[in-house]
Structure 1
């Protein structure tokens, strides 16, 4: 009870004391209205980076005023050396009309390499909480004068050095800073701001500080390892893990522009897990609304022996695009492929608007050839797009060209990957030496777990370039040649880093300093659709007559498409097979092309056995029931043939002989040749196998007469073999059989005694 009395009396006296001496502690200030924030940025050209900056500003409804648009850039090569004074001069001119607006907050930022990750309300709140009149961005690396490092105020933690890419402050105070500028446009802006900040008196009177812990500004240079993406339900943020902050302004200063490109694929709302790609349908070209389709020059590059080249050209021919709008330029560096190009041209010479071939006799390097192809479009004012394709690209999507044009990017490629591998036609990141590095999202993009249009640092094999870009941003004519780099890497680096070209139209002796600001052209890859695949050329041996037959290991999908019968899969889905005799099954397996090429390969080899009993090719040297044949091993095709058996025959075996699991092994694999003049038939016999396959390699009545197979036990004959179809029957005990006489022409069959 006494305790309660004490509490009551104490509370009374405290209230009485407060009434006599009211608290002088400041109340929480009212939030600054977002209308009081003005963003000022300098941009002399509308580059891809500038458009991205404006897109992020528009998303958050920033009030942005652009300074210097259309003005010649005289601020130096700020990406590689000192410069940028022109930005201060333009800011100084702009601030002269804003100096008397005491409640106006000015945010001065770069634009080409910068994006917003948060809105005006957030940046104003953080600025207000800092309780300073001016805040500069901070970074951990000092530039441009390292000798000034010791003059910086000491800090317990955070970024110590000033970066001029981001400044926020009250207009009068910003004006007092920039009004001190009296230097040249190509002098260094960061050095100017640094000297003012390092002056203790100015730092105090102007109440300046640095954003040491990246609450507002995140400079990526020297800080890539401490930055990661934070995915939310509404948008994606950049998080600084060192200070657990969510910066509002993200700046790809120094050599971090490619990393900014990666971040900007997500931030602020470009892509997230819930909604996917938010900007993929922005600024699309509606081809259906055009009076006529754009003119496209297709550049085809055959720089090494390439499997399935005839199929490549057929896919080019079947692109769903008006052929009168397509011109084709082919650079062929391989004598071996001249026959393929010649045949395609003879059959389709009138299919395209024009068809130009530069062959190996011209002795052009890859870079020279690719420059030539791109230059043909650059010089032709009617060339709307340049579509570059390497011969190792198999486009399976006939709409590819239309889909790329619709995306309306200066440079864009379709994602193509090597079957069953993570190898693709793009890199998501680069290492410090400029070569491949795996980005965090690379695998998800390749596997299409993240679908969209992605800004990437490197692409090859296939891409579409706007003709207008070739005649403007990419007008230099040697993009594919750069010391120590292959042509594709040279192109990508030149497109990314368009910062150091002299202004050729300037007569001034100061023209060396009149360099363009960073304005690299963005390169995009799209995986919004399945476009096709890359084939492997690494182990392509052209010593055979039909070399693609050997590609069953390296390029299994293309091998199957070319050589396996189109109805093969229906064996399993629709029971597409026949049983003409008991336990004799008949099913499609080879295309006509496969049959023709196997026959051609054997005839090219030419050493037919003659059907003799003496045979040194087999164990024991004696064949009881000889045929006039050539073994697969003789042409070096035994491993490929056994793989064919395991991949395409074994599944059929399990279907028709339920419960029997074949090893898919065979010692005797050969092609038999029946002719009336050499060997017309084969006497009754059992095969030394568990089961046998017998594939017809040519057509009855067109290539030969007679022939067939008779099974004695069942008095059943099959006399009308179908080209590309195989018999499968038990070998030992039950299925005594004979080869019926071939009466005219030549009959070819491929035989395997499986599981001997």
Structure 2
């Protein structure tokens, strides 16, 4: 009999479920015009604009409550509050309560994105079979003492979240009409107490979206969600419940992760189309009557290589110079001569030019506050461009591109050459420092191209002047305890709150006037902009310290010091053979030649051309020159690297089949003058092959000079500055240095593969 009863019970339950499903399947879909989205927003923050963009993409009908109203709902990002939202919803529902077939969707706007459309959300609401459905989450807030009063659930999130509510208008109205509390009382606690009342829960048929069919709250659930890329748009997938939520809510401390998701959903970026929103709201500078005025803040906070090149790139930016005001903070005495040279050359180029030097003893934060303040207090300043001098902009259009993107705060992507080090972080750890986002490498390597909402940027960024005078009007954004200035600025921008402390009639209510309006910061990699140079291990003890950067910053070293026609040797056979097996080719820029000569003269200890020479093995030089060895100035490792990188490839080209080791014991700069040593007698070099680089110009710096090869009765007597000739050292190429008759001639020589 017991088994029979169990059978009938099971049969009855199956029949009930079957009938329920049959009933659901017979329901007519709710027309999309019967869905109304209600959201509270007192200001048009970046988050609100993103919310509206996603809503418009899916054609939601949205009514905004409270726009322009003073926020008195507390600082909901940090504590209890939000009662003002319930009051506004209550007022709106009074006019809607008689529309029995109207479905109201009440959601937050500053930290929420739609991932699906009205048809989907209405279908899922019908399937839930509740009159009112709240979002759910796994963490209870704000009163943990209420945990035991929640109904148990076998699977899914147990606790109510008030950031998402969907229900028929009369039922939603019955809930919110009970509100009689203060603006800064907690909205979630209000809704929770109603839900935990068994009678109200049953009478109003209130349910929770336990498995994130509609609402995905990210707090405590970041590990559960993944991006799901489709051909049309990108979704968020809850991997625990295998659901595709329609509404994604970055509640509590998950707003940065929502920003990451917002770079993709619903249609911001996918693999097929790339960035679909990058051109939204762009400004065409060519259509403006005049270009915006820009304050450029330049910051030299540590010894920085290639500073002259940085300034030259600033001068050559494709932007009207009368629209550029330049502020330079130099914290390094070493760079005062570089600043002076730039000042003398460019002080009249820009609309204004101001320098603050190390004598002012400003901290980094103080200096950056000063630079930003110059734009803030000038009503004509349209943009503020902050640049550290370790940024090498190779794209002359950078400033125009950033302005045209029309973002409040935006920076160009710049990276260390050949490395993943860049000027942005894709995510932050719990302690606020670097964490690698899933897409970081793809963005740095330009496998994903777009305009990216990120939590941290440094080195170079553009900020609208109106933002400085409004949202960022506080004057100390670069100073926060234990944070470097850029981290402080980004944190202040992310967690920005607006308040009316001075206008408040009652100082005790100050905390109630705070409204979170965190700003979005963007990085763009839609173009190649340039690179970051390394300032680590920059030894400033040399006269021209950039010469030593061949290891640390090889790309910048090459651009500064290697002849612009060097690569033509391999692409166009751009070299000459003035004598048999003597090859002549460009290798150094004039700047390289000048700096190497300056370095040697600054060292000053020329050998005098004596036979006795303690610098070499045996202490005796058969054919001495008046020279300084590279090793004497600490440049031997760098010079050998230069030989391997830039001479060895030429060797392989002209001496086919010979593979050089690129090793040389004798590397030196020779000085020929009529009063000391004017020439060099015939000799063979102790090398497999020799290079001889002309470091100054015949006719301008000296007269005479050159080299004669006896076996072929052939002379090279008109050397070109920056060009090297290469010839075999032993056996065949007996040669001599022809007399220098006037001035001073410098050459750099290496006996390679001795």
* TM-score, with length taken from structure 1: 0.96
1:445 is aligned to 443
| Root mean square deviation, CA, Å | 1.1
SS at match of 1:439: coil
How far 1:471 sits from its partner (Å)? Answer: 0.6
Partners of 2:515 and 2:138 lie apart in 1 by 24
**Offset at 1:644?**
0.3
Aligned length: 735
> Do 2:504 and 2:510's aligned partners in 1 also have CA atoms closer than 8 Å?
no
| Partner residue of 2:163 out of 143, 165, 176 | 165
Work out the CA distance in 2 between the residues paired with 1:546 and 1:594. Answer: 10
Q: List alignment gaps of at least 5 residues for structure 2.
A: 1-18
**Cross-structure match for 1:144:** 142
- Measured in 2, the distance between the counterparts of 1:67 and 1:501 equals 20
Other-structure match for 1:727? 725
Shift of 1:721: 0.5
Residue-by-residue CA offset, 1:580-607 (whole Å, 9 max, x unaligned): 0000000000001100110110111111
SS in 1 for 2:497: coil
Match of 1:429 in 2: 427
Q: 1:180 aligns with which of 173, 178, 181?
A: 178
Structure-2 change in CA distance of 1:89 and 1:24 (3 Å): closer
Does residue 95 of structure 1 match 2:90?
Answer: no
Take 2:570 and 2:334, find their aligned partners in 1: how far apart are those partners?
Answer: 39
Q: Quick check: 1:77–1:500 contact (8 Å CA) kept in 2? A: no
> Quick one: which of 318, 333, 341 aligns to 2:331?
333
1:41 partnered with 2:49:
no
Contact preservation (8 Å) 1:211, 1:217: yes
Q: Of the candidates 311, 314, 318, which is equivalent to residue 313 of structure 1?
A: 311
Pick closer, same or farther for the CA change 1:640–1:200 going to 2, 3 Å.
Answer: same
Which position in structure 1 is the counterpart of 2:113? Answer: 115
Q: In structure 2, what is the equivalent of residue 514 of structure 1?
A: 512
**2:104 aligns to what?**
106
User: Partners of 1:607 and 1:357 in 2: how far apart?
Assistant: 37
In 2, are the aligned partners of 1:502 and 1:511 still within 8 Å (CA)?
no
How far did 1:438 drift? 0.5
Say whether the 8 Å CA contact 1:75–1:513 is kept in structure 2.
no
Contact 1:114 1:249 in 2 (8 A): yes
1:402 aligns to what?
400
Map of 1:74-89 to 2, 5 A cutoff?
74-89=72-87
Task: State whether residues 571 and 587 of structure 1, in contact with CA within 8 Å, keep that contact through their aligned partners in structure 2.
Answer: yes
Runs of 4+ more than 3 Å apart: 22-25, 500-503
Question: Cα distance, 1:499 vs. partner?
Answer: 2.8
Aligned-partner Cα distance in 2 for 1:24–1:461: 60
- CA–CA distance in structure 2, aligned partners of residues 503 and 157 of structure 1: 46
Instruction: Give secondary structure in 2 for the equivalent of 1:346.
Output: helix
1:514 aligned counterpart, secondary structure? helix
Equivalent residue, structure 2, for 1:689: 687
Residue 515 of structure 1: how far off its partner (Å): 2.8
Task: Give the Cα–Cα distance (whole angstroms) in 1 for the partners of residues 300 and 499 of structure 2.
Answer: 32
TM-aligned CA deviation for residue 502 of structure 1: 5.2
Residue pair 2:501, 2:507 contacting (<8 A) in 1 also: no
Choose the corresponding residue for 2:200, options 179, 199, 202: 202
Question: Which residue of 2 is the match for residue 597 of structure 1?
Answer: 595
SS of 2:669's equivalent in the other structure is strand
Q: Distance in 1 between matches of 2:581 and 2:294?
A: 57
Q: In 1, are the aligned partners of 2:36 and 2:102 still within 8 Å (CA)?
A: yes
CA contact under 8 A between 2:499 and 2:515: conserved in structure 1? Answer: no
**Whole-Å Cα distance in 2 between the matches of residues 344 and 317 of structure 1?**
10
Asked if residue 382 in structure 1 is aligned to residue 384 in structure 2, the reply is no
Contact between 1:502 and 1:514, CA under 8 Å: does it hold in 2?
A: no
Per-residue CA deviation, residues 122-171 of structure 1 (Å, 9 max, x unaligned), is 00000000101011000001000001011100010110100000000000
CA contact (8 A) 1:327 1:354 kept: yes
Q: How far is the alpha carbon of 1:507 from its aligned partner?
A: 1.1
Offset of 1:512 from its aligned partner? 2.3
Give 5+ residue unaligned stretches, structure 1: 1-21
Partner of 1:739: 737
Shift in alpha-carbon separation, 1:46–1:192, aligned structure 2, 3 A: same
1:439-488 CA distances to partner (integer Å, 9 max, x unpaired)?
A: 00000100111000000000000000000111111111110011111100
Q: CA deviation at 1:23?
A: 12
1:37-75 Cα distance to aligned partner (Å, 9 max, x none) = 000000000000000000000000000000000000000
Q: What SS does the aligned partner of 1:671 have? A: strand
Instruction: Verify the 8 A CA contact 1:499 1:515 in the aligned structure 2.
Output: no
